[in-house]
Structure formats: structure tokens, C-alpha cells
Amino acid sequence: MSRRNRRYAVPGAERGMQAFKAEVMRREGYHVDPNHPDDVKYEVAKELGVPLEPGFNGDLTTESAGQVGGKIGGSMVREMIRLAQQQMADREGR
């Protein structure tokens, strides 16, 4: 799969998001190369039985691709919610 050209609203946010992804997926028990955190998708795909390989994946169904992205993105969203709840609780405790 080729990498999409994402544009973040905040300059420099990409590096932070990649580091966040690496940390979240590491906590989920995956091996993550900090220099290539996007590569965790191959490990997730293997676990889910999705035949994702580096390069062209035109035969991959939308459902299969969504399973991989959903696992990674869902983990990141859960962690963001947890962090926000923790910050709110900390503010209320002052």
C-alpha cells in the first residue's frame, strides 16, 4: 500500500502522531520500529489474517483494509479518550 499524503492542520504534528501510534501499539503488545511506526500495520494484518504486503495491495478488499486500520485507529482513539478523561479528572481534583 502506498502511503497517503496526509496534511495535518498543525505543522510538525505528523512526527508526534507517529510517535503516539508507536507507543499505543507497543502497549497493545505489538513490536513497533520507532523509525517506521506505520509498519506495525503488517503485524496487525497478519494477526487478523489479512494478506497485507508491502507494495501493491489492489486485491485487498475494503473490509480487510478497514479491519487493519480500525484496529490501529481504534486503539489510538481509545487512548486519546483515556488521556482526555484523565486530564479532566485531574482538573476537577485541584
Q: List pLDDT tens digits, range 24-77.
A: 999 999 999 988 988 999 999 999 999 999 999 999 999 999 999 999 999 999
For residue 53, tell me if it sits in a domain.
yes
| Lookup: cell for 3 | 502511503
> Domains in the chain: how many in total?
1
| Range(s) of the domain holding residue 74 | 13-92
pLDDT: which is higher, 22 or 5 = 22
For residue 34, tell me if it sits in a domain.
yes
Using only the alpha carbons of the chain, give its radius of gyration: 15
User: What is the spatial distance between Cα 76 and Cα 80, in angstroms, rounded to a whole number?
Assistant: 6
Assign 14 a pLDDT band (cuts: 50, 70, 90).
confident
pTM above 0.85, yes or no: no
Report the pLDDT value the prediction gives residue 2, as an integer from 0 to 100. Answer: 47
Report the pLDDT value the prediction gives residue 3, as an integer from 0 to 100. Answer: 53
